[in-house]
Amino acid sequence: MTQTQHDRLLIIDFGSQVTQLIARRLRELNVYCEIHPFNLVTEAFLAEFAPKAVILSGGPASVFDEGAPRPPAKVFELGVPVLGICYGQQVMMHMLGGHVERGHGTAEFGRAYVTPSEDRIDLLKGWFLDTREQVWMSHGDHVSKIAPGFAVYGTSPNAPFAITADLERRFYAVQFHPEVHHTPNGRTLYENFVRDAGFTGDWTMEAYREEAIRKIREQVGDKKVICALSGGVDSSVAAILLHEAIGDQLTCVFVDHGLLRLNEATEVVTMFREHYNLPLIHADESELFLGKLDGVSDPETKRKIIGGLFIDVFQKYANGIEGAEFLAQGTLYPDVIESVSFSGGPSVTIKSHHNVGGLPEKMGLKLVEPLRELFKDEVRALGRELGLPDSFIGRHPFPGPGLAIRCPGEITREKLEILRKADAVYIDQIRKHGLYDEIWQAFVAILPVRTVGVMGDGRTYDFACALRAVTSVDGMTADYYPFSHDFLGETATRIINEVKGINRVTYDVTSKPPGTIEWE
């Protein structure tokens, strides 16, 4: 649990796929909240956390299951507002004296419309302007009798108790999911709930900056910190924040593996050394990485080689920094949340991910993670607060193994050179057409085939490349971006004219799944 000075809302997680979205909606409303799995929320935990309001999430269980998940009864004795969502609503009714009925195979899933009762409550301010409100349902069991003290404030054809409340105790229960996109007015409902609970919206990045700096100083004292700076948003924001807090006690190591984009190393080094005056070691180890990758074409082998070397190299430079006791990492809140997993069992490894996990123990370092409480868009807001230029903040994600996984087959310096140039033209095109911010990630992959073409009066025999552009919210699933034919044609012409070594351009229209975003 994190100690902050802010009013805190507790989300008790029962394993819904969309619990994180509840936290997102609340953070957008400048409300500080944390998600904790139901089995870790004890009475002692509640006392320490001291929430100003509680939300019970949805989840796949049934209150009839043996050992069905429950919040501690104490939640209902805290005297703070409680909102139960879907399973959270059912478990609330079950515990407070209502009745839940088994679904018997009649699940309600998808879009539904809720209409209001005569009485309008504050929770629904801004709702039903259009007489009915679209919501998203996803449940098997349903409430058949509401608990004493509750009244009905909204119904849908299949959910007579779609919205209920006990106004006296400020308990609210909804059968649908207000946090998802398909409940278009869901944010208003959360807003009404937190305003009723007395939240003032004190969670802003301006306030967070001060607080984070104070906490870093407390944690680190006069000791030294090292940070692996990649130039991505997370590590950049973490580094700048730390530098603001502890100045030259921080040293950053930027490992250049020779697999970066055009001018990337120079841009990162110039920005952090000159603009931020941050002590930075530019570890140019491209010879080492490219040497070890010579002749390797298997994707997993490439990833393992790069991951292993990265750790060795980082360690080598870090060992040279006398007295370093801490390692800074740009870990974000989604990596920290201990969500409940009902699926069980390890998931299949699709790709080995490149990171510095395991390093702190190996090197006997303690961790500093100043972004642990933040979602990605909060990190961006903090970056803006710290003066990072938009060109850095809005950058598309770039994978740790870099261009190696955009170069299927053997990696050669010639191919990397061609790839860098083609990628730069493609991104320039996207920016010129004002599409960069609509796209989650765009890049070129150079294919391990040469094809025949004709330029001027001559025959060419050059590489083919594939353009990739996807939209996504989290990189877990993705759709290909629907460029216009004009855009694609113009871009292909520019790449072929401006990049020697490419004579054919294709566009990758695979979504994820079944594809992945990167080619390897």
Alpha-carbon distance 489 to 509, whole Å?
15
- Residue 518 within binding range of ligand XMP, rule CB under 6 A: yes
Alpha-carbon distance 76 to 386, whole Å?
41
Q: How does DSSP assign 274-339, residue by residue?
A: IIS---EEEEE-HHHHHHHHTT---HHHHHHHHHHHHHHHHHHHHHTSTTEEEEE----HHHH---
- Residue 56 within binding range of ligand XMP, rule CB under 6 A: no
Catalytic hit among 94, 139, 177, 243: 177
205-220 helix and 233-246 helix, angle to the nearest 10 degrees: 60
Alpha-carbon distance 311 to 307, whole Å?
7
- Residue 408 within binding range of ligand XMP, rule CB under 6 A: no
Alpha-carbon distance 258 to 470, whole Å?
25
Task: Please pick, from the candidates 154, 399, 402, 408, the single residue that binds ligand XMP as defined by CB under 6 A.
Answer: 399
Q: Taking the complex as a whole, how short is the minimal distance between the CB of residue 71 and ligand XMP, in angstroms? A: 34
The number of angstroms, rounded, from the C-alpha of 81 to the middle of its chain's C-alpha atoms is: 28
232 labelled ligand-binding: yes
- Residue 8 within binding range of ligand XMP, rule CB under 6 A: no
- Residue 264 annotated in active site: no
Q: How many CB atoms lie within 10 A of CB 217?
A: 13
233 labelled ligand-binding: yes
What does each C-alpha distance from 5 to 29, 186, 210, 348 come to in angstroms? 17, 27, 11, 41
- Residue 400 within binding range of ligand XMP, rule CB under 6 A: yes
Catalytic hit among 179, 191, 378, 520: 179
Q: Taking the complex as a whole, how short is the minimal distance between the CB of residue 233 and ligand XMP, in angstroms? A: 12
- Residue 177 within binding range of ligand XMP, rule CB under 6 A: no
Identify which range of 186-194, 266-274, 283-291, 397-405 contacts ligand XMP by CB under 6 A: 397-405
Contact yes or no for 332/23 (Cβ under 8 A): no
Task: Please pick, from the candidates 351, 372, 376, 433, the single residue that binds ligand XMP as defined by CB under 6 A.
Answer: 351
Q: Taking the complex as a whole, how short is the minimal distance between the CB of residue 46 and ligand XMP, in angstroms? A: 37
110 labelled ligand-binding: no
Residue whose pair of structure tokens reads 């003290």 in the numeric block: 149
Identify which range of 102-110, 185-193, 240-248, 351-359 contacts ligand XMP by CB under 6 A: 351-359
Alpha-carbon distance 283 to 252, whole Å?
10
User: What value, to the nearest 5°, has the Cα angle with vertex 486 and ends 481 and 488?
Assistant: 50
Please, which residue, 354 or 415, has the CB nearer to ligand XMP? Answer: 354
- Residue 302 within binding range of ligand XMP, rule CB under 6 A: no
Task: Please pick, from the candidates 186, 401, 402, 408, the single residue that binds ligand XMP as defined by CB under 6 A.
Answer: 401
511 labelled ligand-binding: no
DSSP strand pairing (479-480 vs 151-156): unpaired
Phi then psi for residue 409, to 5 deg, are: 85, -160
Taking the alpha carbons of 500, 506, 507, 513 in that order, is the dihedral positive or negative?
A: negative
Binders in 484-513 for ligand XMP, by CB under 6 A? 512
Burial status of residue 48 (CB atoms within 10 A of its CB: 0-12, 13-18, 19 or more): exposed
Alpha-carbon distance 315 to 309, whole Å?
10
Identify which range of 83-91, 169-177, 241-249, 348-356 contacts ligand XMP by CB under 6 A: 348-356
Alpha-carbon distance 56 to 135, whole Å?
18
Q: Taking the complex as a whole, how short is the minimal distance between the CB of residue 351 and ligand XMP, in angstroms? A: 5
E-strand stretches of 322-403: 324-328, 366-368
Identify which range of 19-27, 28-36, 274-282, 392-400 contacts ligand XMP by CB under 6 A: 392-400
343 labelled ligand-binding: no
- Residue 177 annotated in active site: yes
- Residue 94 annotated in active site: no
Binders in 427-446 for ligand XMP, by CB under 6 A? 441
- Residue 353 within binding range of ligand XMP, rule CB under 6 A: yes
- List residues bridging with 368 in a β-sheet: 328
Q: Taking the complex as a whole, how short is the minimal distance between the CB of residue 399 and ligand XMP, in angstroms? A: 3
- Total interface residues for ligand XMP by CB under 6 A: 13
- Residue 304 within binding range of ligand XMP, rule CB under 6 A: no
Catalytic hit among 33, 86, 252, 465: 86
DSSP strand pairing (151-156 vs 108-116): antiparallel
Burial status of residue 119 (CB atoms within 10 A of its CB: 0-12, 13-18, 19 or more): exposed
Please, which residue, 428 or 518, has the CB nearer to ligand XMP? Answer: 518
- Residue 517 within binding range of ligand XMP, rule CB under 6 A: yes
Alpha-carbon distance 395 to 255, whole Å?
19
- Residue 397 within binding range of ligand XMP, rule CB under 6 A: yes
Contact yes or no for 43/117 (Cβ under 8 A): no
Task: Please pick, from the candidates 24, 354, 380, 504, the single residue that binds ligand XMP as defined by CB under 6 A.
Answer: 354
Task: Please pick, from the candidates 103, 149, 475, 501, the single residue that binds ligand XMP as defined by CB under 6 A.
Answer: 475
Alpha-carbon distance 504 to 520, whole Å?
21
234 labelled ligand-binding: yes
Please, which residue, 89 or 235, has the CB nearer to ligand XMP? Answer: 235
Helix (H, G, I), strand (E, B) or coil at 219: helix
Binding site for ligand XMP (CB under 6 A): 351, 353-354, 397, 399-401, 441, 475, 512, 516-518
Q: Return binding residues for ATP.
A: 230-236
Kindly list the catalytic residues.
86, 177, 179
